[in-house]
């Protein structure tokens, strides 16, 4: 399974990057293919509301002069997405906001490309406003049908100067916990070998607690009960 972590901070090696890497550690240990992608400080503009993404079949944005389509292709190839941002005036960075708007809109235009993926938001904050930035990223997930796991607290790390979050022991424990939870959830959602498989833009989700299988496609937002585990 693959997880992509997207860093919306322009400060390389900064607190947001430290937090994202901390989340990836237990996922890597669980055998996931992990990748950290930098969008902070890179050329990525906001959505222009041209609606061209509704006019063609390709899952991409009409703007081809920045990094969005390259990063979004990686997102579509991943089972889990971790978004990270510093807190700028109680919200996400400009680069992260541009990515959220365009990723969410292209997903909607193509019938729900992000539906059924696992998503988590991570925020570096000096003092206040972190929960607002946290909510901004989760709002895109929620309206896109992304499954958001919980952790021990909001996924926040506190610090101002580069590296300060390394002293936030509780914040780092939270990052490790959300990483473990994503790994567990990914394993729980994976279909059993030899039975149902993914294809034709169809994704399968298994509910462990209810012992049921569900299948859905980007063009059918309803969950359809297939079989109970006992049938297998």
pLDDT at residue 148 in the model: 98
Give residue limits of the domains in the chain: 2-190, 192-232
pLDDT at residue 150 in the model: 96
**pLDDT score of 209 more than 90:** no
pLDDT tens-digit readout, 46-104: 999 999 999 989 999 999 999 999 999 999 999 999 999 999 999 999 999 999 999 99
Pairing of strands 33-38, 2-7: parallel
State mean pLDDT over 176-193: 92
- Tokens representing residue 22 in the block: 């901390």
User: To 10 degrees, what angle do helices 68-76 and 94-109 make?
Assistant: 60
* C-beta separation of 84 from 6 below 8 A: yes
Long-range CB contact pairs, 88-93, < 8 A, 24+: 88/133, 89/129, 90/128, 90/129, 90/132, 90/133, 91/129, 91/132, 91/133, 91/136, 92/8, 92/133, 92/136, 92/137, 93/8, 93/9, 93/10, 93/40
Domain 2-190 of CATH type 3.40.50.360: yes
If 0-12 CB within 10 Å is exposed, 13-18 middle and 19+ buried, where does residue 196 land?
A: middle
* C-beta separation of 136 from 103 below 8 A: no
State mean pLDDT over 12-32: 97
Q: Residues 190, 180, 78, 15: what is their CA dihedral angle, to the nearest 10 degrees? A: 170
């Amino acid at each position: 399974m693959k997880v992509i972590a997207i860093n919306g901070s322009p400060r390389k090696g900064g607190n947001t990057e430290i937090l994202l890497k901390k989340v990836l550690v237990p996922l890597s240990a669980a055998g996931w293919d992990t990748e950290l992608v930098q969008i902070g400080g890179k050329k990525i503009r906001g959505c222009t509301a041209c609606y061209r993404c509704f006019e063609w079949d390709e899952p991409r944005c009409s703007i081809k002069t920045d990094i969005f389509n390259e990063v979004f292709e990686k997102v579509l190839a991943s089972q889990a997405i971790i978004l990270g941002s510093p807190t700028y005036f109680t919200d996400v960075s400009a680069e992260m906001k541009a990515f959220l708007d365009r990723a969410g809109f292209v997903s909607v235009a193509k019938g729900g490309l992000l539906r059924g993926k696992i998503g988590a938001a991570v925020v570096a904050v000096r003092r206040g406003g972190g929960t607002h930035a946290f909510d901004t990223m989760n709002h895109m997930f929620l309206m896109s049908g992304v499954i958001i796991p919980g952790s021990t607290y909001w996924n926040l790390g506190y610090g101002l100067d580069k590296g300060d979050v390394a002293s936030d022991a509780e914040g780092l424990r939270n990052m490790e916990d959300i990483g473990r939870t994503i790994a567990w959830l990914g394993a729980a959602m994976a279909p059993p070998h030899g039975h149902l498989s993914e294809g034709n833009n169809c994704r399968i989700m298994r509910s462990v607690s209810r012992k049921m299988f569900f299948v859905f496609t980007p063009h059918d937002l309803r969950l359809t009960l297939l079989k109970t585990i006992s049938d297998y």
